[in-house]
Structure formats: structure tokens, C-alpha cells
A = this chain, B = another copy of it.
Amino acid sequence: MSEKKPVVTVDLGGTNLRVALVENDKVINRIMHPTPRGAEAIVGLIAKQALEFANKDVIGIAIAAPGTASPKMDRLTKAPNLPELNNYPMAAEITEKTKLHCIVENDANVYAMGETFYGAAKGLETVVVYTLGTGVGGGIILNGKLWRGVNGAAAEIGHISIDENGHLCGCGARGCLETYASATAMARLAKEYGSKATTAREAFELANLGDKAAQQAFVRAGSALGIAIAGMLNTLNPQAVVIGGGGSSAYPLLKEEIEKQLKVRAFPAALENFKLMKCTLGNDAALLGGAALLYESL
């Protein structure tokens, strides 16, 4: 069964690069390096580390990277945080160095594969995952397959309008979900409501200590998430939504507001047997998701 064969997976971030050996649905070896600068250095380090981890059974390398991946999953076509990788033929270079099949995919998509196949939504097939981090991203799995869109640009689900005249979003539009539900936005909202918190983590701690302004920030983040998720449920009617990313530690403060909005806005037929869940894999989601994506791609 190729589904249990070992895989090398990579979580490539702007700051750190993590490499893992995944076998039998588990991370059995892992290492972290600072991300080097320059496409060749990045590709060289991934290849070197992959060869170090790979045993004779390894069937390929899956890289989760920040940006839009090509439809063939052989490179990033947009990589604002690692511009040196823009259109650089990553997969081909790594295959040349390692003789291993290699794929590259958007990190939030890979994360969503991890939470769907090995995490919170294990056993389900049609799942939408929201990642709350510096921004809001996500991944869409339909009938057990990652939905990438025709240009590999699907699942930018943080860029759904909540208030067309709202706060300016990094994407250039106003009032996107991201301007309410990213960690950055949670901190900003807490400050706007009068809290002394300067980070999402502080806001979370203060909210738990009874700080009304900080609590209000999470109520607003939760209601915005609920509005966005309701619209998505009416559009895609999935089995489950998983809330992931660092901001999901605020899940206990977000859940009630999300559910309030779903009750009012999502169609009853879309709510039947629907599950709202918190992620379970933490930092391993992208490392495990890479394995799921590689099995799917073979």
C-alpha cells in the first residue's frame, strides 16, 4: 500500500524551514533550520536534508510553501514572502538532486489536508479548514481531494467581504474576513475596544481574566468568522469546518459567536450533521498533510 510508504515533508516558512520523515501517518523524524536566502540555497538545503532523512522506501517529497502553487504543483507562481521562489522550478531542481518525486503546494492547503486526513476531521471527506494566523487562509477538501481551483488559487477564504467599507486589508480590499479574524486583527480589535493588550496572545489572556474590551475583540472576530463560514456552508455544504492556525487557541472564545451566526445565516439543510471543530495537530498539520497530498498525487 503506497498510502503507508514513507514520505519526506517540508514546511517552508519565511523564517524557518522544517523537514520531517513521515511514516505510517506519523512524524518519525524532524529537524528545523533557519530558512536560507536565495532559491538555490533553499532548494539545496531541502534536498540535502531530504537525502539525510530518506530511507530506501521513501516515495517522494512534499513541500508546503507560502504562496500560490502552479496547477502542476511544481513551483510557486506567487510567493510574496519568498520572492526568490517566484516561478523558480523548485520541484524539478529537488528531483534532480534527490531522484525523488517532488511536489510544492500552498502551505494552508497542505495544512488543511493534514487536519482532514490525520487530524480533527479524520474520517471525513468534505471539509473546509480556516487557518487563523498573521493572515487568514485555508484549504478546501471535496470528496477526499484538495480543491485547488483552475489556477491553483482556490481557498483564499480569508478574503471574503464582511464589511465592504471596513478596515483596509493587506490584499488591497476593505473589510475582508482577515481584517477581523487574523491574530493581527484580534490584537487590533482589542486595542480599538480599549484593551491594553498589544498582541492576540495578550488579548486572549486578558479576556480570560475578565477584560471586557479584549473579550469584545473575540466576539467580533467570532461573529465575522461565523458570517463567512455561513456563506461558505450555503455555497459548498461540507461535512465539517476546522478552525486552525495559531489563532485557534482562541477557539473557546470564538465558538459561541460562530455558532450564533451559523444558526441565523446558514440554511438548515447545510447545518444537518455539520461539525464545527478545532484543529488537533498543531505544527504537525503541514508535515502530515504533505504525506496525504503526495499519496493523492501519485
Contacts and interface: CB of A to CB of B under 8 A. Distances in A.
Contacts of A154: 235-237, 270
A236 B147 contact: yes
A49 interface: no
A140 B230 CA distance: 17
B234 A269 contact: no
A151 B235 contact: no
B236 A159 contact: no
B68 A151 contact: no
Interface residues of A, number: 46
Nearest to A224: B164
A156 B267 contact: yes
Given A164-B162, A227-B161, A77 B269 contact: yes
B160 A231 contact: yes
A92 B49 CA distance: 60
29 contacts: A78-B268, A142-B142, A148-B237, A149-B236, A149-B237, A149-B238, A149-B270, A150-B237, A150-B238, A151-B270, A151-B272, A152-B269, A153-B234, A153-B269, A153-B272, A154-B235, A154-B270, A156-B235, A156-B270, A159-B265, A160-B160, A160-B231, A160-B235, A161-B231, A163-B164, A171-B265, A172-B264, A173-B265, A232-B235
Given A155-B235, A164-B223, 4 more contacts: A142-B147, A156-B267, A161-B162, A173-B265
